[in-house]
Structures are given as C-alpha cells and as structure tokens.
Amino acid sequence: MKQYWVKAGTGILVGFFWATLGFPQAPPRQPALIRDTDKAEGKDESPADKPKDRDPLQSEKSIQIGDYYFKKKNYAAAIQRYLDAIEYQPDSIAAYEALGRAYEKKGESLKALEVYRDFLRKNPDSPKASEFRLKIARLEKSRG
C-alpha cells in the first residue's frame, strides 16, 4: 500500500490515516517555476513605466482620490494621486494646483515651485496663468 505524507490540518497523521483507509493520494507537487516573462522575452519596460493614455475621466478620479488623502493629511499619497492625474491629463489645471498645494503642505516648497513653473511652461496661455505666477512669486518671496 502506498502512503503519501501530506501536510493538512493536523499534519502527517492525517496523511497516514487517509492513506490507510485506501483513498488514493496524489503525490506532493513541485512548486511551479516562476520567471519574469517580460525579462525573458527581452521586454525591459514594465507596464508601470509606459506612458499612460490620455483619459480625462481617470484623471478626475485620481484628483478626487488625491483630495481624499489631502483631507486626511496624507500628503504623500495625495501627491502620488495628483501625479497620476497629470499623467492621464497633462493639461489639467486642477491637478497642477492640487499637486502644488500638497507639496506646500508637506513642506516641500521647492517642489511646489517646480510644479507651478512646469505648468506655466506647458500652458503659458492658460486662464489660470496669472494665479500660478502669483503662487510662484509668493513662494519665492517666502524663500528669501
């Protein structure tokens, strides 16, 4: 009579008991090999590294989630969501404003300045351009 030792519930005893009753048991399986198929196939770029397709709805959703984190004072999570929103919609005024505000609250005024300047570089004719210039002036004044 074949006996297969299996780990289940109470361990080896269950395997012995089960095998003595005459029930067939499958031998323990070897774990499946795990490999990084992208790397094996020569694809270096992971899906996270690929640029995201323009999707205003996904951008708005990311902003809303970022606003939730911002209200909970989890500025790092909010910043990540606002960055996602900008990837989905690079000309989103709301995402740039929220991202700059989150960096300011986190105490990273240099990054907030970068965000505001980046927006002005990409959208010089935006209706909010004057507001962004005021924010830049305020942050530069407070720095020195």
How does pLDDT run along the chain (144 residues), one tens digit per residue? 555 555 555 555 555 555 556 656 666 676 665 665 665 566 655 555 566 788 999 999 999 999 999 999 999 999 999 999 999 999 999 999 999 999 999 999 999 999 999 999 999 999 999 999 999 999 999 876
Is there a domain that residue 93 lies in? yes
pLDDT the model gives residue 135 = 94
Distance CA 31, CA 105 (A): 48
CB 120 within 8 Å of CB 108: no
Question: Which residue, chain included where needed, has tokens 């351009």?
Answer: 129
CB 106 within 8 Å of CB 76: yes
Shared domain check, 92 and 25: no
If DSSP codes are grouped into helix, strand and coil, which group holds residue 90? coil
CB 95 within 8 Å of CB 85: yes
Among 66, 133, 78, CA closest to 108 = 78
Range of the domain at 109: 56-143
pLDDT the model gives residue 2 = 55
Is there a domain that residue 63 lies in? yes
Distance CA 59, CA 50 (A): 16
Length of the chain, in residues: 144
Is there a domain that residue 50 lies in? no
Shared domain check, 62 and 18: no
Using only C-alpha atoms, what is the Rg of the chain? 28
CATH number at residue 92: 1.25.40.10
Shared domain check, 82 and 14: no
- For 69, other C-beta atoms within 10 Å of its C-beta total 18
Task: Give the pLDDT confidence of 2-30 residue by residue, as tens digits.
Answer: 555 555 555 555 555 555 566 566 666 76
Distance CA 61, CA 52 (A): 14
